């Protein structure tokens, strides 16, 4: 799936090199696509806020995509940068979720994207619970990175890696966004993808 992400980013940069893109435009190539998936049969819905309990820690995520291949169904979840020993019903709108800014074209414009962790349906057990559902406008979702996992224990590693990357100062959009040492990773709230 990492190769797919690189190909998507490269293709998107080529396709959009002559177009001005603002924060309200999300190219189809980066949007969720559920062709061939019977979503009525899935364990989760788009916008489900889930808790994942691992080693006495609670991780929060929001379901933003589905995928299906020979290994089964995968749930695309954006993790929050917050974890809890005891979930305290903190307002989910206040939480920060993993995302990144992706360059669009060669003019220095960027698109806000969410980084998704794809958890295989076989890994879903009683340690994963739905606690809320948001009405999400999928046309406002762009997927920045995809990371498939088959084991819930890998959530902790992905969380730690994601938080570590987001401790760095993010590169602002503009010409610097194309530097090789740029920092694309950052946090986003959910407000910009919710249906009003």
Q: Mean pLDDT, the chain, as a whole number? A: 83
* 51 or 88, which is more confident: 51
* 21 or 153, which is more confident: 153
Contact 146, 119 (CB under 8 A): no
Contact 114, 188 (CB under 8 A): yes
pLDDT average, residue stretch 57-82:
94
Name, in order, each residue with C-beta under 8 angstroms of 155's C-beta and a sequence gap of 6 or more.
Answer: 52, 54, 59, 79, 117, 119, 149
For residue 33, CA distances in Å to 30, 67, 68, 72, 141 come to 9, 8, 10, 16, 11
Residue 95 CB neighbour total at 10 angstroms: 17
Is the full-model pTM beyond 0.85?
no
> Could you please report the per-residue DSSP string of 60-117?
EEEEEEEEEETTEEEEEEEEEEEEESS-----GGGS-EEEEEEEETTTTEEEEEEEEE
Per-residue pLDDT tens over the stretch 99-149: 999 887 666 678 899 999 999 999 999 999 999 999 999 889 999 999 999
Q: How confident is the model at residue 177 (pLDDT cuts 50, 70, 90)?
A: low
Paired tokens of 28: 């189809």
Length in residues, the chain: 196
In angstroms, the CA 68 to CA 140 distance is 22
Residue 3 has pLDDT above 80, yes or no: no
pLDDT average, residue stretch 173-195:
84
Q: What is the pLDDT of residue 20?
A: 43
How far the first Cα of the chain sits from its last, in Å, is: 32
Domain ranges of the chain: 2-193
Least confident of 54-63, 100-109, 161-170: 100-109
Residue 25 CB neighbour total at 10 angstroms: 15
Per-residue pLDDT tens over the stretch 7-42: 444 444 444 444 444 445 666 667 777 777 788 889
Q: What is the pLDDT of residue 110?
A: 85
Backbone angles phi, psi at 93, to 5 degrees: -65, -20
Paired tokens of 17: 């090199």
């Amino acid at each position: 799936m990492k190769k797919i992400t690189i190909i998507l980013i490269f293709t998107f940069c080529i396709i959009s090199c002559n177009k001005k893109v603002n924060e309200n435009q999300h190219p189809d190539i980066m949007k969720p696509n559920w062709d061939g998936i019977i979503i009525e049969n899935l364990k989760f819905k788009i916008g489900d806020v889930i808790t994942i309990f691992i080693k006495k820690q609670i991780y929060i995520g929001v379901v933003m995509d589905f995928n299906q291949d020979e290994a089964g169904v995968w749930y695309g979840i954006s993790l929050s940068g917050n974890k809890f020993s005891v979930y305290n019903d903190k307002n989910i709108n206040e939480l920060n979720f993993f995302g990144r800014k992706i360059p669009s074209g060669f003019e220095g414009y960027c698109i806000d994207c969410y980084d998704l962790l794809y958890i295989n349906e076989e890994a879903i057990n009683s340690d994963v619970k739905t606690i809320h559902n948001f009405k999400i406008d999928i046309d406002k979702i762009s997927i920045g990175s995809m990371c498939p996992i088959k084991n819930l224990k890998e959530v902790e590693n992905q969380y730690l890696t994601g938080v570590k990357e987001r401790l760095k100062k993010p590169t602002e959009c503009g010409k610097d966004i194309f530097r090789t040492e740029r920092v694309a990773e950052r946090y986003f709230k959910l407000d910009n993808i919710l249906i009003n």
